[in-house]
């Protein structure tokens, strides 16, 4: 007779107690019947799977080749923790929507650890947003735990123990459905208290700053010419970046002279209000563009750093030049070096450095704006 203690916090974890003997633990995918792993295990010993994302586990215990115990993962009524392992605004907006779907599918109690949970806690009444300390104090009460994040090793390989697919080769939102075992579809998050009927002003908000020069629109004439066009059309153009000037000594980036300066460390809810009353938002592949998409304001997204499939598509007009070097973010052989502000892995030090966005002309952007306006 044996007893099996198990949980699914960062993988399927089992511990055997009871009659001494030589046992074999077999871990299978119940839906497909695929055997994923087996190992020998004795009384007082434990085993844990390499895979830490959701798999519909079926665990069997064999003694002398005979099956003496079998159990399947059942989350019904259980408490499940989901960690959003990124403090980035865009990442949280991308991944939060799928937590509620997972909870409804498995009829389980979802607790989410996220530094931006305050943006969503009233909109997702079936998700409890907690701090890391709250989780740590009550860890044993959680039957399962899953982590959603950027899992890239030092050698630039994807960490397949935490996510089955490489985040760089697919839509960013799909990382969440991969980890949670859900069918992927693009989903907008629901932000607390969002007023979808807020009257629109004759205003266009923009965000020109980012976290690496490769992500910027590196056409020197671009922003001011677009601002000039919009102002001639009668729009106020307002820059809502946190910083008026940002970058490094190698390259400082300043907001356009023709844009109204609303930069500063302003609460996100004020940014949401400003974006939601705008006719358009124009930005980069950054958090403010994800926020505008979440709010429902049409987005014009200028980027060559990432492939168009990376960011959302619904309500987003993508300005991208496929005829030049592009998409270094999505290349699995490359790893971003955050210590190098001028990171451009293929063209650095040549006249074509940042050609992915240098080659995007203001006329290309204005052409798309004319269709939207």
Active site residues: 91
290 in Cβ contact with 208 (< 8 Å): no
Can you spell out the DSSP letters for 70-115?
A: EEE---TT-EEEEEEE---HHHHHHHTHHHHHHHHHHT-EEEEE-T
Q: For the chain, count helices (H), then strands (E).
A: 9, 19
CA distances from 246 to 180, 303, 341 (A): 37, 18, 11
CB 151 within 8 A of CB 16: no
Tell me how far apart the alpha carbons of residues 333 and 327 are, in angstroms, rounded to a whole number.
12
The β-bridge partners of 30 are none
Beta strands in the chain (DSSP E): 2-9, 13-18, 22-29, 35-42, 46-48, 57-63, 66-72, 79-85, 109-113, 127-130, 144-149, 203-206, 236-239, 245-248, 251-254, 260-261, 280-283, 299-302, 316-319
How are strands ordered across the β-sheet holding 316-319? 260-261, 236-239, 203-206, 280-283, 299-302, 316-319
* Closest listed residue to residue 248, CA positions, set 192, 210, 298: 210
Q: Give whole-number Cα distances, 317 to 22, 274, 280, 308, 311, in Å.
A: 61, 20, 11, 10, 11
């Amino acid at each position: 007779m044996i007893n099996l203690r198990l949980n699914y916090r960062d993988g399927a974890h089992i511990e055997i107690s009871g009659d001494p003997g030589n046992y074999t633990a077999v871990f299978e995918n119940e839906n497909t019947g695929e055997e994923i792993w087996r190992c020998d295990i004795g009384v007082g010993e434990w085993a844990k799977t390499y895979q830490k994302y959701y798999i519909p586990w079926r665990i069997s215990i064999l003694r002398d080749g005979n099956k003496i115990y079998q159990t399947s993962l059942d989350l019904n009524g259980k408490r499940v923790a989901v960690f959003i392992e990124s403090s980035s605004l865009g990442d949280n907006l991308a991944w939060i929507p799928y937590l509620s779907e997972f909870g409804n599918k498995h009829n389980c109690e979802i607790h989410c650890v996220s530094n931006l949970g305050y943006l969503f806690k009233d909109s997702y009444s079936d998700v409890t947003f907690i701090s890391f300390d709250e989780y740590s104090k009550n860890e044993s009460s959680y039957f399962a735990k899953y982590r959603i994040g950027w899992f890239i090793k030092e050698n630039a390989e994807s960490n397949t123990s935490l996510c089955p697919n490489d985040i760089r080769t697919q839509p960013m939102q799909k990382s969440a459905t991969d980890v949670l075992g859900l069918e992927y579809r693009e989903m907008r998050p629901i932000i607390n208290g969002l007023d979808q009927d807020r009257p629109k002003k004759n205003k266009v908000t923009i965000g020109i700053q980012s976290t690496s020069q490769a992500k910027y629109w590196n056409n020197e004439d671009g922003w001011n010419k677009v601002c000039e066009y919009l102002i001639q059309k009668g729009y106020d153009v307002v820059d809502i970046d946190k910083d008026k000037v940002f970058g490094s000594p190698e390259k400082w980036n300043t907001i356009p002279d023709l844009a109204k300066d609303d930069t500063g460390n302003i609460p996100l809810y004020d940014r949401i209000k400003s974006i939601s009353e705008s006719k358009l938002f124009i930005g980069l592949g950054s958090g403010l563009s994800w926020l505008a998409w979440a709010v429902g304001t049409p987005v014009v997204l200028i980027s060559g750093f990432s492939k168009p499939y990376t960011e959302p598509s619904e309500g987003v007009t993508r300005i991208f030049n496929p005829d030049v070097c592009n998409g270094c973010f999505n290349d699995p052989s490359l790893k971003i070096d955050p210590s190098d502000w001028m990171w451009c892995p293929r063209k650095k030090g040549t006249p074509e450095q940042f050609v992915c966005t240098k080659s995007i002309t203001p006329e290309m952007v204005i052409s798309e704006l004319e269709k939207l306006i």
